[in-house]
Amino acid sequence: MSLEKHSADVGVTEDGVDYDELEALLGERVIDRETHLNAEGFVVRPDEVEGTLELLREEAGFDHLSMVTAQDYPDRYESIYHLTKYDDRTQEVSVVVPTDPENPTSESAASVYKTAEWHEREAYDLVGVDYENHPDLRRILLPETWQGHPLSSDYDQDKPQLVTLDEHVNPLAESSKDSESDTMFLNIGPHHPATHGVLHVKAVLDGEQVADVEPDIGYLHRCEEQMAQQGTYRHQIMPYPDRWDYSSAGLLNEWAYARVAEDLNDIEVPEYAQIVRTMGAELCRIAAHMLALGTFCLDIYGDFTAIFMYAMRDREKVQNILEDLTGQRMMFNYFRLGGVVWDLPEPREEFFAKIRDFIDDLPETLEEYHDLITGNEIFQTRTINTGVLEPEVAKQYGCTGPVARGSGVDYDLRRDDPYGYYDELDWDVVTEDGCDNFARLLVRMREVEESAKIISQCVDLLEDWPEDERNIQSNVPRTLKPDPDTEVYRAVEGAKGELGIYIRSDGTDKPGRFKIRSPCFNNLHSLEAMAEGEYVPDLVAALGSLDVILGEVDR
C-alpha cells in the first residue's frame, strides 16, 4: 500500500501543519484562535470569510471543505468551516465565524468552495444564519413556508406548522416557468424508481437534452442530529448511525460515531477488537457495493434483469455472515465505545469457513459480473463518457468515496487518516480516471476485491489469536462527560465516501452539538455538474452512479 503523499503549501512542516505560519498568512483577519481536538481553529470576522478561505485554499492548499457546522450560543451565532486537503487528509484547520445574535449575518463561502452552497443553505434553514452573497440562499430540508429555524434558541417547538398549498403548486404552471422559453420542465420523483428513495429531481430540458438539474431533498429528514444530542455518549447514540445508511453499510456508519466519541473521551480500543471491526466494516462495504451495482444496472437496463438478482444473491451471502456476527440483519448496533458488543460466533471454525467460502467464490462471481456488465456493449454505450465529473469539479463539490475515486481523486480515509487495523494490512486504494458513469462502477467492483483481501487477512489474524487475549472492549467509564467546549471532527471511509461527525461537548453526558457530514449530501450536489447537456436516460444513470441513500442525505 502506497502511503506516499507530498505538499509544498504554506504552513506545512514535516511534523504537520504549522498553525503559527497559517496565522501569519491570514494576518489581521484572525481575531482569535481556538484549539479543537483535531485541528486549530482561526476565529475571523463575518466580513472576512471569503478572503480567509481563499487564502487557505490557494496558498495553503486546503482544497477540501468537509463540512460547515452552524451553532446558536446565548451570545452569538457561529459557523465553523472544517477544511482539509485531498493530498493530505491529516492536515486540518477550522475557520470559526461568530456573528451578532441579533443579526446573524456572515459572508458566504460559496464563491470559494462550490459545496458551501448546500452546507450554508442547511445552516440557514436549521439554525438561521444569513449568508451574504450566497447565490441561492433558501431552505433545503424544510419547506419554504416553515416558520422559524428549528435549531435556533428562540424556536418554538410547540408551534403548529402548516405547509400551504403553494408548496405543492403545479411546477408546470406558467407562474413558475418562462412561458416564452422553448425549454420543458420535467419532475422526476419524489417517488420514482429512478430516484432510489424519496428524492425530487427538477429537470429543465432543452429538446432532449438536460439544460438544468436541481435535486430537491428533505423528504426524509428525521432530525437524526437532534436525536443524537438527546442521547448519552455511552449507549444511546450508537443505534442511530445504522439508520443513516439503512441499506447495508451499518457498521461503517457505527464506526464514524465510535471514532469521534472515542477520540473525544480518550478511549483506547484493543487490537483484537480493531481487527473484528475492520473485518465487519469491509463485509458491509461489499454488501453496500453489491446493492449499488445491482440498482445501477437496474437504472441502465430499465427492468429487473438477471444482474440485479445476481447482485442481491451475493449481497444476501454477506448479510448472512453479518447476521451471524451481529445478531441483526440490517440495523446491526454491534459497535460499542471501546470495542464491539460481543466476540465472534461459535463455533469459530464454522464462521471462518463461511467467510472463506464467500471470499473464495468472489473472483469467479466478479468475472461473471464483468461478462454481464462491463463487457456488455449496451452498458458501455450508456455509461462511457456520460455523467462526466472532472477531478477538479469533484473537489469543488466536496465529493469523496467511489464518486471522487472514479474521477481519479486519490483520496481514501482508510489510508490517508488511518484508523482501525487498515494500516497494518496489505491492500490498495482504487482509482479510475474515466470520470464517467462507467468509471464509478469499475471503482466499486474493484473495491469489492480489495475488501475481500482485507477480510481474508483479518480472518487469518483472528484464527491464530490466542484465546486468553481476545479482548473485545476496553474499560469505559459508565458515564462519559467530556470537558465543556471540547470540540472534535472525525471521519471514516464509509461505503459512499467520507462520513464525518463533529461534536461539541457542553460538559454533560450528552453532546451539546452533534453534526453529521454525509458523503451522499455532497455527492448528490454534484449531479447538476454531471447531468447538464446529457439526455434524460443519462441523467438517470448519473444519479444511479452516485449511489445515494436519501436517509443519509437528509439525516
pLDDT in tens, 266-298: 999 999 999 999 999 999 999 999 999 998 988
- Give residue 407's pLDDT band: very low, low, confident or very high (50, 70, 90): very high
Residue 202 has pLDDT above 60, yes or no: yes
Using CA atoms, how far apart are residues 402 and 495, in angstroms rounded to an integer? 8
Residue 208 has pLDDT above 90, yes or no: no
Of 217, 80, 230, the C-alpha closest to 157 is 230
Q: Which amino acid is present at 155?
A: Y
Percent of the chain with pLDDT over 90: 59
pLDDT of residue 347: 93
Out of 144-148, 488-492, 510-514, least confident range: 144-148
Out of 103-112, 126-135, 179-188, 494-503, least confident range: 179-188
Using CA atoms, how far apart are residues 100 and 132, in angstroms rounded to an integer? 14
pLDDT of residue 1: 44
- Cβ atoms of residues 432 and 443 within 8 Å: yes
Out of 41-45, 80-84, 243-247, 345-349, least confident range: 243-247
Cell of 138: 433558501
DSSP code at position 212: E
DSSP code at position 342: S
Using CA atoms, how far apart are residues 459 and 131, in angstroms rounded to an integer? 51
Enumerate the β-bridge partners of residue 94: 41, 82
**Cα of 249 vs its chain's centroid, Å:** 12
DSSP states along 127-168: T--EEET-TT-S-SSS-TT--S-TTSTT--TTS-----GGGG
Mean pLDDT of 27-51: 90
Using CA atoms, how far apart are residues 272 and 403, in angstroms rounded to an integer? 32
Residue 5 has pLDDT above 60, yes or no: no
Mean pLDDT of 407-415: 94
Q: What average pLDDT does the structure give for the chain?
A: 89
209-216: strand order across its sheet: 184-188, 200-206, 209-216
Mean pLDDT of 111-139: 93
pLDDT of residue 399: 95
Out of 117-121, 194-198, 505-509, least confident range: 194-198
Residue 313 main-chain phi, psi, to 5 deg: -60, -45
- Cβ atoms of residues 166 and 143 within 8 Å: no
pLDDT of residue 173: 53
Residue 176 has pLDDT above 70, yes or no: no
Stated pTM of the model? 0.90
| Strand 40-44, strand 339-340: pairing | unpaired
Contacts of 184 (CB under 8 A, 6+ apart): 204, 205
Length of the chain: 555
Using CA atoms, how far apart are residues 207 and 418, in angstroms rounded to an integer? 49
The tally of CA atoms less than 13 A away on the side-chain side of residue 134 is 23
pLDDT of residue 99: 93
pLDDT of residue 222: 85
- Cβ atoms of residues 46 and 105 within 8 Å: yes
- Sign of torsion, CA 243 244 250 256? negative
